[in-house]
Amino acid sequence: MSQPLSVGLVQAAARHHSAPDPDAFAAEVRRLARTHPGIRLLVYPELHLCGHAKDEDPEEVMVAAAQPLDGPRDAMLSGLARELDLWLVPGTVYEQGEDGQIYNTAVVYSPRGARVAAYRKMFPWRPHETTAAGSRFVVFDMDGYGRVGLSICYDAWFPEVTRHLAWQGADLVLNLVRTPTVDRAQELVLARANAIVNQVFMASVNAAPPDGIGRSVLVDPEGRVRAEAGPEPELVLTDVLDLAEARRVRAHGTAGLTRVWDPFAEDQPPLELPLYAGRIDPERWRGGGHRREADRPGPA
């Protein structure tokens, strides 16, 4: 049995890297922890700590803000999660990779202050985003609650991303977003569609103006919108989730009917997939949505 998970999805404007103030971010997190004492998982939008002002060159900000994963920013964030005894997803950061490339990376810290996951954005929004692309799907376990997968903004437009995270057993997918454009309307549809076809909770956390247009949303495994924000400059969407609900929906079907993780007859041959020069093997598919093995993919 999983415990109820109290989540806080923080729709806020980014902090500009040109005027870095780690103490101000720490104070913000402490304030939210104080005003929402029950929250166990606090989630921020894409590039929340690495924003750029309108008159700044995003490329210059990216280079200036990039740090190795284990740099001083990491020490500050891990200490903050440990101090407040909560799971902290501070959005995404610019990561200076060991290969010399810069990645847009989502990081996660446990209440013990350990960095438990790091996911590099697979689908940067070309040609506007010049970060290198990641190549590994990342999920992590929240002991007593369930398994969580990570995606970043444009990743949600590619169904393979959420499908792989659900296949790896994610009960909840956090999609960290920085969308200031009109296609946020389409992203809201995608949040529901990804939840429905993968039978997984979807949290799409967008930045507030001027970095994004808000409209953050939380969707359940049957596609129902549990909470949705408007374009407010700052808002915390809160909810209490039973992540085992995703497993129940997979086992018994959406609306008690549709079981997308068990569609194949026992003697059905593999389905060829010309698009991928590969195929769906029913034996491998059937493991989907129920994978709980310890040997799961880690940071990119």
Name the residues annotated as catalytic: 46, 121, 153
* Distances in whole angstroms, Cα of residue 234 to Cα of each of 51, 118, 214: 16, 26, 9
How far apart (Å, rounded) are the C-alpha atoms in residues 172 and 248? 13
β pairing state of 139-142 and 146-152: antiparallel
The number of beta carbons lying within 10 Å of the beta carbon of residue 241 is: 22
Helix (H, G, I), strand (E, B) or coil at 43: strand
Q: SS3 for 219-253, per residue?
A: ECCCCCEEEECCCCCEEEEEEEECCHHHHHHHHHC
115: part of which helix (H) or strand (E)?
strand 115-120
User: What's the number of CA atoms in the CB half-sphere (13 Å) around residue 138?
Assistant: 23
Cα 42 to Cα 8: distance, rounded to the nearest angstrom: 5
CA atoms 197, 198, 202, 208: torsion sign: negative
Helix (H, G, I), strand (E, B) or coil at 62: helix
